Amino acid sequence: MKRGKKYIEAAKTIDRAVQYDTEEAISLVKKSAVAKFDETIECHIRTGCDGRHADQQIRGAVVLPHGTGKTVKVLVFAKGAKADEAEAAGADFVGGEELIPKIQNEGWFDFDVVVATPDMMGVVGRLGRVLGPKGLMPNPKAGTVTMDVTKAIEEIKAGKIEYRLDKANIVHVPVGKASFTEEQLTENFNALMDAIMKVKPAAVKGAYLKSVTLTSTMGPGVKVNTTKLTSANA
């Protein structure tokens, strides 16, 4: 894979064989984010889980203290008083059955998170094939199937992120932007890792965290010392 000059220069400052302490890893990632736009800082957590087993699944949500730096558009499926409540709470789009053809047939996806009241899941379920693969399906574990739409919207707007295992048993989540201070990124990262450690499935054999890597959108990955992360959360 051909890499650009900036990437190669940035990669020289990082030793791929070393697992860095959190603060140092974040400092290196910030320095290596040299693109002309405000790069997203991402965290990739390779776990020892086997996602094929239901008792080793990881899924949930956490509110990052400093948010993700991204303006999140929220679509709420609700009706009646709950629809009014969602609009008052700052939802970007609120609707019901009438939105199905718009999403299914017209390919409308001008939203980042979907929230639904439990009574609307029959309607939302019909969109499973299109919302599911994009990771947009509302889920009670992530707090996006709820009667408390105000709380759900406020948390999402404040910087709530969802995490889940992918097919390779890796969790990929944003922890902020390159323009954030090192302290803000550290606090966001620690909040995420606390949440990940709390949902460790009892059935996992061997190491739970195989590797934790921080990277910017266009920059090289920096490995974080997993031993210190697990002992800090023990």
For 48-99, the pLDDT digits (tens) are: 999 899 899 998 889 999 999 988 899 999 999 999 999 999 999 999 999 9
φ, ψ at 95 (rounded to 5°): -175, -170
Looking at residue 170, the DSSP 8-state letter turns out to be: E
Which two three-digit tokens encode residue 16?
Answer: 């791929």
How many helical (H) and strand (E) elements, i.e. helices and strands, does the chain have? 9, 9
Q: CATH 3.40.50.790 in the chain: give the residue spans.
A: 74-157
Q: Which residues of 110-146 are buried (b: 16+ CB within 10 A; e: fewer)?
A: ebebbbbbeebeebbeebeebbeeeebbbbeebbbbb
CATH code: domain 5-67+160-232 is: 3.30.190.20
d(CA 82, CA 88): 10
Q: Which residues, 6+ apart, have CB-to-CB distance to 81 below 8 Å? A: none
Q: CATH 3.30.190.20 in the chain: give the residue spans.
A: 5-67+160-232
Contact status, residue 120 vs residue 77, Cβ threshold 8 Å:
yes
Question: 22-32 and 182-198 helices cross at what angle (nearest 10)?
Answer: 130
**What amino acid is encoded at 67 in this protein?**
G
Question: 149-158 and 81-88 helices cross at what angle (nearest 10)?
Answer: 20
Tens digit of pLDDT at every position of the chain (234 positions): 566 777 677 667 787 788 999 999 999 999 888 888 999 999 999 999 998 998 999 988 899 999 999 888 999 999 999 999 999 999 999 999 999 999 989 999 999 999 999 999 999 999 999 998 888 999 998 889 999 999 999 999 988 888 989 989 999 999 999 999 999 999 999 999 999 999 999 999 889 999 999 999 988 889 999 887 766 555
Stated as kind and residue range, the H or E segment containing 103 is: helix 99-104
Q: What is the pTM of this model?
A: 0.80
Q: Which residues, 6+ apart, have CB-to-CB distance to 108 below 8 Å? A: 99, 102
Q: Which residues, 6+ apart, have CB-to-CB distance to 116 below 8 Å? A: 76, 77, 78, 124, 138, 144, 145
Q: Are strands 209-216 and 59-63 parallel, antiparallel or unpaired?
A: unpaired
Domain 74-157 -> CATH class: alpha beta
